[in-house]
Amino acid sequence: MDYLDGLNPSQKAAVEQTEGPVMIVAGAGSGKTRVITYRVAHLIRKGIDPFNILVLTFTNKAAKEMRERIMKVVGAEAKNIWMGTFHSVFAKLLRVEAQKIGYPNNFTIYDTDDSKSLIRAILKELQLDDKLYNANFVYNRISSSKNNLISPAEYLQNEHIQAEDLSSGRGKMGEIYQIYSQRCYKAGAMDFDDLLYKTNVLLREHPDVLYKYQNKFRYLMVDEYQDTNFSQYLIVKKLAANNENICVVGDDAQSIYAFRGANIQNILNFERDYPDLKIFKLEQNYRSTKNIVNVANSIIANNKNQLKKSVFSENEEGDKIKVSRAFSDNEEGKIVAEAIAQEQAVKGSRYSDFAVLYRTNAQSRAMEESLRKLNVPYKIYGGTSFYQRKEIKDLIAYFRITFNPNDEEAIKRVINYPRRGIGDTTIERIIIAADQHNITLWEVISEAHRYLDARSATAVSNFALMIQSFQVMTKTHSAYDTALHIAQHSTILKDLYSDKSIEGLSRYENIQELLNGIKEFSEREDIEEKGLDVFMQDVALLTNDDNDKNPNADTVSLMTIHSAKGLEFDNVFVVGLEENLFPSQMSLSSRSDLEEERRLFYVAITRAGKKLTLSYATSRYRWGTLTSCEPSRFIDEIDASYLELDFKPKQINTGNPFFDGERSAWQQKESFTKPKPASAVKTTSILPKAHVPSANFAPSDTSGLQVGMEVEHERFGFGKVINLEGSKPDVKATIFFKDLGQKQLLLKFAKLKIVK
């Protein structure tokens, strides 16, 4: 059992506890992946058949990495483990069992664009206002319903849901959901949420199928359990009900996906489902310096709703965490870019050792501009993925029709691309004929002369014959040969090759790259099924985290904190630490939302290995207006003994429009740069205490505000108006606040109470 020798006592105990319900609470950087992979390897070494082990992850990348590690311990047997994302594993299961719930085994998987395209078509048919019934809103509403296992019929019968829709002016939501589900079913298609929703339906309505997979999956492991939603929770609970050999791994402190439906209560209440649960805590952080770990601990300690653990590091103490203060978002970008360039020049660091993390994608602009000016190479993550590009989706649509000719979204996408004389009028006639005769679009297309006029029918019949020839091809040729044939004979390659523009060349090269990927797929030795239909399923199930993140590219990484989860860098900059930005203004209405924002900050901090810098701006443009900003409350929550200012307090006022010569709160805290004893943690604050508004506080009408008046601000406290400038509605007031010094505020946003 030499593979166990490198584990610490907590890790080893978690690996060796193979029977019964187990929860592994894995702090950031605690070797979680190693524990999962060694635990699976240990099961196989003990004689458990790999076919009886199910491992569920949230990214294909994580599953691939785990499988490769397991293979190093147990060899080729690792190929037989059922391992992958929730969606890929249950898509595979549904391919086998789909006919029991009325779907073909070759069902199409609709991506988000396909779903929204179908929703827009339904809105048009129902003649609904697409601004009120925004396709994104409708899609998210349907997605949320499915993740909570609410069927269209239940949606329409639920009085609370109906009242909510009526009050928002969207009384047709239930009807849209019903039609959407019917159209997907008719097209032999499932959307991403259906893969879990339909699995729940299958296991609920077919006890024999549930029993079959309960006996097959005798051992279950779930990674990132804190990110599971209600639908995922129920599937796992049902599959584990017989044997209860279930192990969940996660960290409640890194639960940051509530907006996707993740329910932190799944991990917090896991012991209620399994009273004889054994809990193991992985508390040693191998990634970060002691200072970074201590800062993270001091932040997350402010959350009340959590599983208690004591994360520690035995690495070097490391640099203190810098706090940078800028006068604007552009200056913040400049400070970050210069720090990266200097560090790289002095220490010879790779650019790939640096990451800049922000709360919203819009913050990347200032960072990009500053990095470009210094010729620092960077890469933004979260942009359009390779498989979302138009030319790629066009060719894949041809693949989809070849295997499932009832796929209506794919048909509508390419029936006249490249152009073949089938105009919008003909397409509308096909749709009308299908509706009138209650048949699929493909049935109309394949018998075009029966339903369309002679001229239109000829072009449509030629399209049908082409697709039928592709179908014959799949039975005798490899995935690559079939794909190349379709690319050529659909004339997509010819169409793109004839476009000699830079964009056209790029699109042509992208198609070549897709074909290269299919060639590589068809030559893989670690998979048995290598058909083009299997490749398409893999593509449909790619997660955002699986997209091109080339570990060898020497570029600075720019990304949202949500995108950074699971990654690590030597040097991390967390920017935009301002109230109403981070924490987000949307999160300030409830404790649970604020605690999720704090967990997001915790995730950002724990991405850093050696050096961490926090920054904020005192002013930022929002909707074209320069507004003043307050430092985030999260900075104030950090034990000040672990921090150092990246500027001298006396420099704060120079050139800053929001402070005058009075002593600022930061100047009053000048002593905070000196180390504080541990006993002073709770009494030391690097930011002024928040003002508690008067009991009768209510914003006044400030249209008559005059110089000399005394006012109260709900956060800044009491102050005196010393100057007014500008014209309505953009009047700016310069106010001297007792505890903060001088600030300049736009009256239309300021929410001031006139005291006298």
Tokens 């209620």, residue located: 272
Among the listed residues 205, 197, 264, 210, the one whose alpha carbon sits nearest the alpha carbon of residue 237: 210
Active site (annotated) includes residue 607? yes
Q: Please tell me the chain's helix, strand, coil percentages from 3-state DSSP, rounded to the nearest 5.
A: 50, 15, 35
Stronger pLDDT, 745 or 284, i.e. the higher one = 284
pLDDT in tens, 426-479: 999 999 999 999 999 999 999 999 999 988 999 999 999 999 999 999 988 889
pLDDT in tens, 290-343: 999 999 999 999 998 888 888 999 999 999 999 999 988 888 999 999 999 998
The Cα–Cα gap between 362 and 360 comes to: 5
Confidence of residue 55 (pLDDT cuts 50, 70, 90): very high
User: Do the Cβ atoms of 721 and 735 come closer than 8 Å?
Assistant: yes
Of 33, 162, 491, 627, the active-site residue reads 33
- 656, pLDDT greater than 50: no
The CA-atom distances, in angstroms, between 18 and each of 15, 36, 44, 84, 89 are 7, 11, 11, 20, 22
Confidence of residue 715 (pLDDT cuts 50, 70, 90): confident
- 649, pLDDT greater than 60: no
Stronger pLDDT, 632 or 625, i.e. the higher one = 632
The Cα–Cα gap between 38 and 3 comes to: 8
Lowest mean pLDDT among 105-109, 195-199, 384-388: 384-388
The CA-atom distances, in angstroms, between 460 and each of 50, 398, 415, 494 are 50, 15, 8, 20
pLDDT in tens, 202-232: 999 999 999 999 999 999 999 999 999 999 9
Confidence of residue 694 (pLDDT cuts 50, 70, 90): confident
- Which amino acid is it at 635? I
Tokens 């048919």, residue located: 125
Of 223, 331, 579, 637, the active-site residue reads 223
- 661, pLDDT greater than 50: no
Of 12, 32, 218, 633, the active-site residue reads 32
- 660, pLDDT greater than 60: no
Tokens of 653: 């006022």
The string of DSSP codes covering 185-211 is: HHTTEEETTHHHHHHHHHHHH-HHHHH
Q: Burial, 428: exposed, middle or buried (Cβ in 10 Å; 0-12, 13-18, 19+)?
A: exposed
pLDDT in tens, 39-52: 999 999 899 999 99
pLDDT in tens, 701-711: 888 888 889 99
Lowest mean pLDDT among 10-19, 85-94, 392-401, 529-538: 529-538
Average pLDDT over residues 400-418: 93
- 154, pLDDT greater than 80: yes
Of 57, 108, 228, 254, the active-site residue reads 254
Lowest mean pLDDT among 151-160, 165-174, 538-547, 575-584: 538-547
Of 607, 611, 620, 633, the active-site residue reads 607
pLDDT in tens, 723-741: 888 877 778 888 887 766 7
In the prediction, which pLDDT does 530 show?
79
Peptide bond into 275 cis (omega under 30): no
In the prediction, which pLDDT does 218 show?
94
Stronger pLDDT, 716 or 375, i.e. the higher one = 375
User: Do the Cβ atoms of 460 and 452 come closer than 8 Å?
Assistant: yes
Confidence of residue 365 (pLDDT cuts 50, 70, 90): confident
- CB neighbourhood size of 423 (10 A): 12
Active site (annotated) includes residue 224? yes
Active site (annotated) includes residue 223? yes
- 83, pLDDT greater than 50: yes
Of 114, 224, 546, 596, the active-site residue reads 224
In the prediction, which pLDDT does 544 show?
52
Tokens of 711: 């006012």
Active site (annotated) includes residue 32? yes
The Cα–Cα gap between 373 and 351 comes to: 15
Stronger pLDDT, 688 or 412, i.e. the higher one = 412
In the prediction, which pLDDT does 551 show?
56
- 671, pLDDT greater than 60: no
Average pLDDT over residues 601-629: 86
- 488, pLDDT greater than 70: yes
The string of DSSP codes covering 285-325 is: -SSS-HHHHHHHHHHHTT-SSS-----B--S---PPEEEEE
Lowest mean pLDDT among 101-110, 266-275, 661-670: 661-670
Averaged confidence pLDDT in the chain: 86
| Overall size of the chain counted in residues | 756
- 570, pLDDT greater than 50: yes
Residue 246 three-state SS: strand
- 588, pLDDT greater than 90: no
In the prediction, which pLDDT does 650 show?
38
Q: Burial, 515: exposed, middle or buried (Cβ in 10 Å; 0-12, 13-18, 19+)?
A: middle
In the prediction, which pLDDT does 662 show?
32
Termini Cα distance of the chain: 78
**Backbone φ and ψ of 21, nearest 5°:** -70, 135
- 666, pLDDT greater than 80: no
- 647, pLDDT greater than 60: no
- CB neighbourhood size of 705 (10 A): 18
- 672, pLDDT greater than 50: no
